[in-house]
């Protein structure tokens, strides 16, 4: 079931430069597991952003005291995939209506967030959320924050490619794998072969 009237990707003309967009959709293992599968996404890194501590550790972020969010930093080719399609995937694989949690993961580090690196991304994020709200796609209001990217740092090495390296780990099987499956079913034309 599609959440949206699936938009056609309209590549940006005369722009072959890669762009960066950072998304917080709960545990970064799950979000990363999906976006490494997406055509046009050149790199995915798990990390922390939009908090006040410089270069926090995972333990510090988990304490909830740093203000950071668990995020994935996407580097993508806008001539292949647009910001709108990335956001449609994002909204399909997490619950943007729960404040500071995703499923059993609770705390400000699990908040839903879009952290843009240019004004065009901000505009697309806000218009996508407005469309979701006007169409009543979710049963509750969207609480996804849309803010400029600030204070990003890459997470520790053991968090990178976690799902790929640990597919039979309990959390990966119970939470990440269903998100990957949902992406591949709903957005098959955007799945890498």
CATH code of 120's domain: 3.30.1060.10
Does 1 reside within a domain?
no
Distance CA 104, CA 100 (A): 11
Q: Which pLDDT does position 193 carry in this prediction?
A: 85
Give pTM, 2 decimals: 0.91
- Whether 2 is covered by a domain: the verdict is no
Low-confidence ranges of the chain (pLDDT < 50): 1-3, 5-15
54 part of a folded domain = yes
Q: Is 27 a residue of the active site?
A: yes
| Residue pLDDT, tens place only, 102-137 | 988 999 999 999 999 999 999 999 999 999 999 999
Instruction: Output the pLDDT for position 12.
Output: 43
pLDDT at 14: 39
Catalytic residue among 27, 30, 62, 172: 27
- What's the pLDDT score for residue 135? 95
12 in a structural domain: no
pLDDT for 16:
60
DSSP letters, the chain, are --SS-PPPP-PPTT--S-EEEEEEESSHHHHHHHHTTBTTEEEEEEEEESSSSSS--HHHHHTT-S--EEEEEEEE-TTTS-HHHHHHHHHHHS-TTSTTEETTEESGGG-EEEEESSHHHHHHHHHHHHHHHHHT-SSS----EEEE--S-EEPPGGGTTHHHH-TTSHHIIIIIHHHHHHHHHHTGGGB--
- Which residues constitute the domain of residue 142? 19-190
Tally of domains within the chain: 1
Q: For residue 3, is it within any domain?
A: no
Are the CB atoms for 32 and 46 separated by under 8 Å?
A: yes
* pLDDT at res. 11: 45
- Does 140 map to a domain? yes
For residue 161, being part of any structural domain is answered with yes
């Amino acid at each position: 079931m599609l959440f949206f009237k699936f938009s056609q990707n309209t590549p940006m003309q005369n722009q072959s430069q890669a762009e960066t967009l950072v998304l917080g959709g709960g545990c970064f293992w799950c979000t990363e597991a999906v976006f490494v599968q997406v055509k046009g996404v050149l790199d995915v890194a798990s990390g922390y952003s939009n908090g006040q501590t410089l270069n926090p550790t995972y333990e510090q972020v988990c304490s909830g005291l740093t203000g950071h969010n668990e995020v994935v930093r996407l580097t993508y080719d806008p001539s292949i995939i647009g910001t709108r399609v990335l956001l449609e995937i994002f909204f399909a694989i997490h619950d943007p209506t729960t404040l500071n949690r995703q499923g059993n993961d609770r705390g400000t580090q699990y908040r839903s967030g879009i952290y843009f690196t240019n004004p065009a991304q901000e505009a697309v994020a806000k218009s996508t959320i407005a469309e979701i709200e006007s169409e009543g796609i979710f049963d509750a209001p969207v609480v996804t924050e849309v803010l400029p990217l600030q204070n990003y740092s890459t997470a520790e090495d053991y968090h990178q490619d976690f799902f790929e390296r640990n597919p039979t780990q309990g959390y990966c099987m119970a939470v990440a794998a269903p998100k990957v499956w949902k992406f591949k079913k709903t957005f098959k034309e955007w799945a890498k072969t």
